[in-house]
Structure 1
Amino acid sequence: MSLPLQGVRILDLSRYLPGPFCTQILADFGAEVIKVEDPRGGDLGRHLAPVIVDQSARFYTVNRNKKSITLDLKKEEGQAVFKKLVMNTDVVVDQFRPGVMDKMGLGYEELRKISEKIIYCAITGYGLTGPLRDVAGHDLNYLSLAGITGLTGTFQGMPAMCATQIADIAGGTLYAVIAILLALASREKTGKGQLCDIAMLDGSVSLLAYTLGEWSGWGRLPDRGDDVLTGGYAFYNIYETKDGKYVSLGAIEDKFWADFCKKIGREEYIKTQWDKSKQDLIIADIRKIMLEKTRDEWVEFFANSDICFTPILTMDEMCEHPQVMARKMIYKLQNVRGSGREVVTPGIPVKLSATPGEAKLTFPELGENNKEILQAAGYSAVDIEELKKKQII
């Protein structure tokens, strides 16, 4: 079966999370992804704690089904090799700060001279333009500037950090995937590639679409932990249970809220669903009620009620949940590197009926594919040995 991206070749210079996760998604759907890594240790994501034997457990979550070559891009000969590889490449993914590739003579403007079909995706914190163009940053910084951190947390409490890297993944990974696919579609029509400028701050700001709508509609800034979707209303909230665990209620629609109220014996709350002045009292009462049963008892209690009620699971519980398992959203790698340890990795979230993705659970060792890739590019065995001696690869 031919996968959607079969025949698409990607040179991936990215590291850590945003870029590698992007190219893993593309690899799952058939793209040939070649990690271009520094000979002196490779992708820094290989060494992030926690390490199993000699490689990061995190590396396995975003680098499946790829190849790896080592190449010193700071040396002219390494740059020459990279340019030669670009001649038969469709996409270059770069996660350096703006200007780094340009200084090495490997930026988009230079590479498009080699191949007008090249699609160059630059994933950066703040983008290739603007006053913060050259500033360092991480997920927390992008979310803070986007206004997301300031809105995350409990009412009158401190801003809270997100449990997952929203800016990196939603702002970087996913928008980079979209950009690359759009550029490939455009190239089918024009025959030419283009530059994809993906800023994690931009992506984070875009995630506030509904929140911006609330601000516009209410005519006031949203309050942390006190608006419709952040904990200010009883029908969309989190409640503690008897056993110290938690459940979530998302009964926004009138019918869901009405059914919930009837089920817990509080029909008088149905008409005050949207009455802000009554929310503190309603929430306090429901909190007391929820403490009467354990989390799983409440799940059983509402099992036949269509009200958007779910338990709040721990990660290990999530991995064993029937829905997650049915959708094959978790893969487990056994005895990683002979350690006896298990590594849990995400499945493929995009389900295609005719050309489904393939999560081949193979992971490249540093420089594992040097010979294969360089020979395909026209280098002889003697050439490759010479590149090794010079520490170009």
Structure 2
Amino acid sequence: MSPANLPLSGVNVLDLSTLLPGPLATLMLAEAGADVVKLERPGRGDEMRSYEPRLGKASANYAILNRGKRAYAVDFKDPVERDRVLDIAAEADVVVEQFRPGVADRLGLGYAAMSERNPRVVYCSINGYGSSGPAVSKAGHDLNYLAESGLLGTVLDRTGTPALPVTTIADIAGGTYPALVNILLALRQAEATGRGCHVEVSMAQNLQTMAYGYVATHQAGGGWPRPGRELLTGGSPRYHVYPTSDGRHIACAALEEKFWTRLVELIGLDEKFHDDTGQEDAVIAALEETFAARPAEHWQRLLEGEDVCTVVVATWEEAMASGLVETSDSDLVAPPESPDAGAPTLRSPVNPHLRRDPGTAVYPDLQPMTEATVWREGKH
């Protein structure tokens, strides 16, 4: 699609964030046509630039998350450079920051300072625990937010130990996506009213949405979840992971009766275990014995084409071969002079008809700040 016809064409986004939640949110804004300018500390820039493995001058992680943006080095503690940031923010539609609560204000870059210069600005703050309460200044990462929200302890292994999450759930589901939704809603409101606003995104607090079922059960008088004993956390044989004889695993999610009935017939489970009500542990044990008797390849062939919501847990190579995980060799993520310029990149969740040509998306070198405007020509 032509850049001028993209949904966020003409929207200026000033990104003061680092690492994952904020940069992933502004990546999606950039893919929908926004002009994203990222300000990073002088020298090293965003810490994620230094991660391994490398893709050209920066890490592959940084390249994937920051393609299509421009980056400038700024010392936020320098009064002259701080004032320059305020000048840039005066022409921004959106500002995203990821400092601990109160830090942006102390730097003179908080919502009050920016909205005084630009009443229409949508100012998004992403933080760990919110801007009030005893944990307001507490350091944290994804695992900490999951642990303190109660979610991490809902699934336990045989020793009673919580498992490490498969990805950064709090950062993305509690940070990136709520930030993106609130920014778009606030932009719509600013269009209608002429006034921007300050939206706050707390990663730990937003995990409550992920726990919707537990909250609903509690509100209905059902107590809080029993670790490893609820329908989706290990208490039901219909929603479980079972080992195979060759060290692989089967992911069973045959919750509905039609799927369950077909599954137990297909795998030859003893009829006394077909009705799992009241004997869940015994049925889990029977299924463990059944699946452990054969290798994953056997179960793959048996389950293929069957409507049973039960599959072999795929390796990355298998997922790529199946087409469920896709990358595009045309998505440039490194500067053109890099020998790795054509390396595959992250598949965008933004629909193709709503985003730019991925071939234009290169990640930015860190440039010095100049007196010239950082925004693309034609906006203001």
Structure 2 length normalisation: TM-score?
0.89
Alignment match, 1:257: 260
Tell me if 1:66 matches 2:69: yes
Alignment match, 1:285: 286
Alignment match, 1:193: 196
Q: CA deviation at 1:226?
A: 2.0
Alpha-carbon distance between aligned partners in 2 of 1:28 and 1:164, rounded to the nearest angstrom: 23
Alignment match, 2:139: 136
Alpha-carbon distance between aligned partners in 2 of 1:191 and 1:82, rounded to the nearest angstrom: 22
Tell me if 1:151 matches 2:150: no
Residues 260/5 of structure 1: CA separation in 2 closer, same or farther (3 Å cut): same
| 1:117-266 superposed matches below 5 A | 117-216=120-219, 219-266=222-269
Alignment match, 2:312: 311
**Counterpart residue type for residue 205 of structure 2:** D
- Which consecutive aligned stretches of 4+ in structure 1 deviate over 3 angstroms post-superposition? 49-54, 214-218, 328-345, 356-361, 368-377
Native 8 Å contact 2:243 2:249 kept in 1: yes
Residues 218/103 of structure 1: CA separation in 2 closer, same or farther (3 Å cut): closer
Query: For residues 161-191 of structure 1, what are the alpha-carbon distances to aligned partners after superposition, in whole Å with 9 as ceiling and x for unaligned?
Result: 2121111111111111011011011112111
Alpha-carbon distance between aligned partners in 1 of 2:41 and 2:141, rounded to the nearest angstrom: 22
**Counterpart residue type for residue 167 of structure 2:** T
Q: CA deviation at 1:340?
A: 6.5
Alpha-carbon distance between aligned partners in 2 of 1:69 and 1:104, rounded to the nearest angstrom: 18
Q: Provide the aligned C-alpha RMSD in A.
A: 2.7
Residues 190/296 of structure 1: CA separation in 2 closer, same or farther (3 Å cut): farther
**Counterpart residue type for residue 362 of structure 1:** V
Tell me if 1:345 matches 2:348: no
Alpha-carbon distance between aligned partners in 2 of 1:162 and 1:110, rounded to the nearest angstrom: 38
Q: CA deviation at 1:266?
A: 3.0
Alpha-carbon distance between aligned partners in 1 of 2:312 and 2:64, rounded to the nearest angstrom: 26
Tell me if 1:302 matches 2:303: yes
Residues 247/218 of structure 1: CA separation in 2 closer, same or farther (3 Å cut): farther
State the number of aligned residues. 372
Unaligned runs of 5+ in 1: 378-393
| 1:311-390 superposed matches below 5 A | 311-325=312-326, 345-351=345-351, 354-356=353-355, 358-359=357-358, 360-367=360-367, 373-374=373-374
Q: CA deviation at 1:130?
A: 2.0
When structure 1 is superposed on structure 2, of 52-61 and 6-15 the one drifting more is 52-61
Q: CA deviation at 1:192?
A: 0.8
Match of 2:134, SS state, is coil
Alignment match, 1:17: 20
Identical amino acids, percent of aligned pairs = 33
Match of 1:324, SS state, is coil
Q: CA deviation at 1:234?
A: 1.1
Q: CA deviation at 1:52?
A: 5.1
Alpha-carbon distance between aligned partners in 1 of 2:109 and 2:343, rounded to the nearest angstrom: 36
Match of 1:272, SS state, is coil
Native 8 Å contact 1:69 1:366 kept in 2: yes
Residues 375/268 of structure 1: CA separation in 2 closer, same or farther (3 Å cut): closer
**Counterpart residue type for residue 349 of structure 2:** P
Query: For residues 31-87 of structure 1, what are the alpha-carbon distances to aligned partners after superposition, in whole Å with 9 as ceiling and x for unaligned?
Result: 111111112221111112344565222112211111111222211110121111112
Alpha-carbon distance between aligned partners in 1 of 2:329 and 2:272, rounded to the nearest angstrom: 40
Given candidates 4, 25, 28, the residue that maps to 2:7 is 4
Residues 355/21 of structure 1: CA separation in 2 closer, same or farther (3 Å cut): closer
Native 8 Å contact 1:15 1:44 kept in 2: yes
Structure 1 length normalisation: TM-score?
0.86
Alignment match, 1:29: 32
Match of 2:366, SS state, is coil
Alpha-carbon distance between aligned partners in 2 of 1:50 and 1:66, rounded to the nearest angstrom: 21
Alignment match, 1:383: none
Native 8 Å contact 1:331 1:346 kept in 2: no
**Counterpart residue type for residue 305 of structure 2:** N
Q: CA deviation at 1:342?
A: 8.7
Native 8 Å contact 1:11 1:93 kept in 2: yes
Q: CA deviation at 1:341?
A: 10
Unaligned runs of 5+ in 2: none
Alpha-carbon distance between aligned partners in 1 of 2:177 and 2:218, rounded to the nearest angstrom: 26
Q: CA deviation at 1:4?
A: 0.8
**Counterpart residue type for residue 39 of structure 1:** P
Residues 312/20 of structure 1: CA separation in 2 closer, same or farther (3 Å cut): same
Native 8 Å contact 1:29 1:358 kept in 2: no
Q: CA deviation at 1:223?
A: 2.2
Residues 31/129 of structure 1: CA separation in 2 closer, same or farther (3 Å cut): same
Match of 2:119, SS state, is coil
Given candidates 68, 79, 84, the residue that maps to 2:82 is 79
Match of 1:346, SS state, is coil
Native 8 Å contact 1:329 1:349 kept in 2: no
